[in-house]
């Protein structure tokens, strides 16, 4: 006799679980409830359909309800919302979204994959506004696209500079709208650290997007066409995309007494069972643990939902599984720039108070002599005592995603930073360098661990100078025209040995070049002559991205 398995939510996690369950077992009765009209659609493609990169609406449907019925013999019930899980009687109650009628479905096992919904702030005038949109599903997409196609708005305000906000900003800009992004935070794209996010901010501006950080909306006026801002100003706008984050859809779980955790996310064990072992939960709705440090968090990304959906099906079919936590590996395109990250960022490591070391490098995406190479700003975070890799971030026009994927794999395989240098990666001039950026990050980190060099970070440099430290810029004279660290003296690397008498031996020294490589060489020379010296990590390029240009030009 097969079991009755009820799946709630028919998109990423739910559809993955359903398909895998059937592949394991032909006997089970699998019933999939989806409150919306569509199952298994491509949430991640929605902004690109609105923007016009994806032309055909049907491309967004990875499967249809009928397709799933035919291929997997799954009882797909769309437009049916589960409104209660009766754990005593082991049945779910559901409502037909069109007729409003309710009915019941017994179960042996439930898989919850209800996702997360857009956060709606309590701001005066929001409910009266007629031009404010959130984006989660096909219906939202149709409404937004129709508004753009038919009403021809000239200006859109995107509130929230996270993944969905930035993707919508790009896509609406591509449609010809003037775009303003507003965010309360000091930076956009929170998975990145501020000096990495700055590259993205600059690039958004370069593409005509106005970015207003540390700014919020205090009121929607004139039905949403006038926004009153925390800075005191007002902004006239034709359209607003609200993308300030998501909250787990936890109503069913809460109502049925399942344990909730971080920000109301559903708590699960390593087998993805909730506090009721007959009810599993996956995807955006659950609390996960950070893979490196074990703290509770939420990761609203599709990889986890797909992976967990599959694992749950395996466990239901007797396999020993363990979901051991998330790295939150992510990637986003903003115009010509790709930004990717994995693992912990520096903000998180500071909050946790764990010992860490940061490394910034700016290698080319491939060999410089082969046309089309572009720089990748890369940051690696690791434990300086044992070399454990905590995380990495990369921003560039080409190849940032591939480097982060390699480092995510390295973290998963418990490689340390020395071993990053030892990964034999594919090389030919159009693709990489004989020392790939991942290897380079490993070499730089190993040099620090080996005590060959000490570094100073971009945010420590000004204090270092104020406290009497001497900064030596070792770049060529021509490079200084684009700016230099205030107070630095100039001795090009090629002259450093012969001009050593100009360098006081009693001062602490920081050497700086453009990206950190020549600084490292200078630091090695000076160290061997007895100087106390540190290299500006990531060079002037990393330092200057966070500083105002006026302040830098001497």
Ligand X SMILES: Cc1cc2nc3c(=O)[nH]c(=O)nc-3n(C[C@H](O)[C@H](O)[C@H](O)COP(=O)(O)OP(=O)(O)OC[C@H]3O[C@@H](n4cnc5c(N)ncnc54)[C@H](O)[C@@H]3O)c2cc1C
Q: Which is nearer to ligand X, 300 or 535 (CB)?
A: 300
CA 554, CA 516: separation in Å to the nearest integer? 21
Token digits of residue 125: 């005038």
Token digits of residue 182: 């507003």
Among 7, 305, 411, 545, indicate the residue that binds ligand X (CB under 6 A).
305
Rounded to whole angstroms, the maximal C-alpha distance in the chain is 89
Name the residue among 508, 517, 505 with its Cα closest to residue 542. 517
Q: How far apart are the first and last CA of the chain?
A: 81
Q: Does 394 bind ligand X (CB under 6 A)?
A: no
Among 252, 359, 376, 381, indicate the residue that binds ligand X (CB under 6 A).
252
3-state DSSP of 81-110: EEEEEECCCCEEEEEECCCCCEEEEECCEE
Among 20, 22, 136, 379, indicate the residue that binds ligand X (CB under 6 A).
136
For strand 4-8 and strand 109-112, is the pairing parallel, antiparallel, or unpaired? parallel
Enumerate residues 160-199 that contact ligand X by CB under 6 A: 164
Stretch 344-373: interaction string toward ligand X, x if CB under 6 A: ------------------------------
- Spot the catalytic one: 44, 388, 449, 521: 44
CB of 80 to ligand X, least distance (A): 6
Q: What region does 418 belong to: left with phi over 0, alpha with psi -120 to 50, or beta?
A: alpha
Q: Which is nearer to ligand X, 44 or 423 (CB)?
A: 44
CB-closest chain residue to ligand X: 283
CB of 362 to ligand X, least distance (A): 26
Stretch 452-491: interaction string toward ligand X, x if CB under 6 A: ----------------------------------------
> What DSSP assignment string belongs to 306-344?
HHHHHHHHHHHTT-------B---EEEEETTEEEEEEE-
Residues in the chain: 554
Pick the piece of the chain touching ligand X (CB under 6 A) from 132-140, 195-203, 353-361, 398-406: 132-140
> What DSSP assignment string belongs to 64-81?
-HHHHHHHH--EEEETEE
Q: Does 420 bind ligand X (CB under 6 A)?
A: no
Q: Does 245 bind ligand X (CB under 6 A)?
A: no
Among 24, 61, 303, 443, indicate the residue that binds ligand X (CB under 6 A).
303
Q: Does 81 bind ligand X (CB under 6 A)?
A: yes
CB of 303 to ligand X, least distance (A): 6
Among 5, 7, 9, 72, indicate the residue that binds ligand X (CB under 6 A).
9
Those residues with Cβ within 8 angstroms of residue 543's Cβ, 6 or more apart along the chain or in another chain: 458, 461, 485, 512, 536
Judge whether 44 counts as a catalytic residue: yes
CB of 145 to ligand X, least distance (A): 13
For the four alpha carbons of 534, 373, 366 and 408, in that order, the dihedral sign comes to: positive
Q: How many residues bind ligand X (CB under 6 A)?
A: 33
**Owner of token pair 């997409």:** 141
Pick the piece of the chain touching ligand X (CB under 6 A) from 3-11, 187-195, 204-212, 472-480: 3-11
CB of 337 to ligand X, least distance (A): 15
Q: Which is nearer to ligand X, 328 or 519 (CB)?
A: 328
> What DSSP assignment string belongs to 427-491?
--TTT--SS-HHHHHHHHHHHHHTTS--EE-TTTHHHHHHTT-EEEE-S-GGGGGG---TT-EE-
CB of 46 to ligand X, least distance (A): 4
Q: Does 82 bind ligand X (CB under 6 A)?
A: yes
Pick the piece of the chain touching ligand X (CB under 6 A) from 186-194, 296-304, 402-410, 529-537: 296-304
Among 113, 171, 514, 535, indicate the residue that binds ligand X (CB under 6 A).
113
Q: Which is nearer to ligand X, 136 or 291 (CB)?
A: 136
Residue 117 three-state SS: strand
CB of 144 to ligand X, least distance (A): 10
Q: Does 244 bind ligand X (CB under 6 A)?
A: no
Token digits of residue 404: 């982060």
For strand 470-473 and strand 509-512, is the pairing parallel, antiparallel, or unpaired? parallel
Strand order in the sheet with 155-159: 132-133, 239-242, 155-159, 178-183, 209-213
Among 8, 166, 359, 380, indicate the residue that binds ligand X (CB under 6 A).
8
Pick the piece of the chain touching ligand X (CB under 6 A) from 51-59, 109-117, 174-182, 382-390: 109-117
CB of 16 to ligand X, least distance (A): 8
CA 48, CA 118: separation in Å to the nearest integer? 19
> Cβ(473)–Cβ(513) under 8 Å?
yes
For the four alpha carbons of 350, 354, 357 and 358, in that order, the dihedral sign comes to: negative
Token digits of residue 157: 């305000």
Those residues with Cβ within 8 angstroms of residue 494's Cβ, 6 or more apart along the chain or in another chain: none
CA 445, CA 428: separation in Å to the nearest integer? 24
CB of 287 to ligand X, least distance (A): 13
Pick the piece of the chain touching ligand X (CB under 6 A) from 31-39, 102-110, 124-132, 272-280: 31-39
Pick the piece of the chain touching ligand X (CB under 6 A) from 23-31, 278-286, 337-345, 409-417: 278-286
Enumerate residues 33-72 that contact ligand X by CB under 6 A: 33-36, 43-44, 46-47
Report H helices in 190-324. Answer: 194-206, 251-255, 302-316
Among 195, 201, 284, 346, indicate the residue that binds ligand X (CB under 6 A).
284
Q: Does 13 bind ligand X (CB under 6 A)?
A: yes
Q: Does 114 bind ligand X (CB under 6 A)?
A: yes
Burial pattern 192-206, b for ≥16 Cβ within 10 A else e, equals bbbbbbbbbbebbee
Catalytic residues: 44
Catalog residues that contact ligand X under the rule CB under 6 A. 8-9, 11-14, 33-36, 43-44, 46-47, 81-82, 113-115, 135-137, 164, 249, 252, 283-285, 300-303, 305
């Amino acid at each position: 006799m097969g079991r009755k398995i009820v799946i709630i939510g028919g998109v990423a996690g739910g559809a993955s679980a359903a398909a895998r369950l059937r592949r394991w077992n032909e006997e089970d009765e699998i019933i999939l409830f989806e409150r919306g009209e569509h199952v298994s659609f491509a949430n991640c493609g929605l902004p690109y359909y609105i923007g016009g990169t994806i032309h055909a609406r049907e491309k967004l449907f990875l499967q249809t309800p009928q397709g799933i019925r035919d291929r997997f013999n799954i009882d797909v019930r769309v437009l049916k919302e589960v409104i209660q899980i009766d754990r005593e009687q082991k049945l779910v109650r559901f409502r037909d979204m069109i007729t409003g009628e309710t009915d019941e479905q017994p179960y042996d096992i439930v898989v919850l994959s209800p996702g997360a919904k857009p956060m709606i702030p309590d701001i005066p005038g929001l409910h009266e506004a007629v031009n404010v949109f959130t984006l989660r599903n096909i219906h939202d997409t149709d409404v937004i696209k129709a508004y753009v196609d038919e009403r021809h708005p000239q200006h859109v305000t995107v509130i929230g500079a996270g993944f969905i906000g930035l993707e919508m900003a790009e896509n609406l800009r591509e449609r010809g709208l003037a775009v303003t992004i507003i965010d309360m935070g000091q930076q956009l794209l929170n998975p990145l650290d501020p000096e990495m996010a700055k590259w993205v901010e600059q690039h958004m501006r370069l593409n005509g997007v106005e970015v207003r950080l540390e700014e919020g909306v205090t009121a929607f006026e004139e039905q949403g066409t006038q926004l009153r801002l925390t800075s005191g100003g007002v902004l006239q706008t034709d359209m607003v995309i609200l993308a300030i984050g998501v909250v787990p859809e936890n109503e069913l779980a809460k109502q049925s007494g399942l344990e909730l955790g971080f920000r109301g996310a559903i708590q699960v064990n390593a087998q993805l069972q909730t506090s009721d072992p007959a009810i599993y939960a996956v995807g955006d709705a659950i609390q996960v643990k950070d893979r490196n440090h074990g703290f509770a968090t939420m990761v609203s990304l599709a990889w986890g939902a797909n992976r967990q959906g599959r694992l749950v099906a395996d466990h239901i079919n007797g396999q020993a599984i363990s979901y051991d936590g998330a790295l939150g590996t992510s990637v986003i395109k903003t115009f010509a720039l790709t930004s990717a990250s994995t693992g912990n960022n520096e903000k998180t490591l500071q909050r946790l108070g764990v010992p860490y070391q940061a490394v910034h490098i700016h290698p080319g995406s491939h060999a410089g002599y082969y046309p089309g190479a572009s720089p990748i700003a890369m940051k690696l975070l690791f434990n300086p005592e044992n070399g454990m890799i905590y995380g990495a971030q990369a921003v560039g026009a080409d190849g940032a995603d591939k480097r982060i994927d390699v480092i995510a794999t390295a973290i998963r395989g418990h490689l340390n930073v020395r071993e990053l240098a030892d990964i034999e990666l594919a090389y030919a001039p159009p693709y990489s360098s004989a020392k790939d950026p991942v290897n380079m990050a490993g070499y730089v980190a190993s040099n620090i661990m080996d005590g060959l060099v000490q570094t100073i970070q971009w945010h420590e440099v000004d204090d270092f100078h104020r406290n009497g430290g001497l900064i030596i810029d070792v770049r060529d004279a021509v490079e200084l025209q684009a700016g230099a660290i205030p107070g630095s003296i100039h001795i090009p690397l090629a002259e450093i040995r012969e001009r050593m008498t100009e360098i006081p031996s009693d001062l602490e020294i920081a050497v700086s070049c453009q990206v950190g490589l020549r600084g490292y060489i200078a630091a090695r020379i000076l160290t061997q002559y007895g100087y106390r010296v540190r290299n500006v990590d990531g060079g002037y390029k990393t330092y200057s991205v966070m500083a105002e240009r006026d302040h830098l030009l001497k």
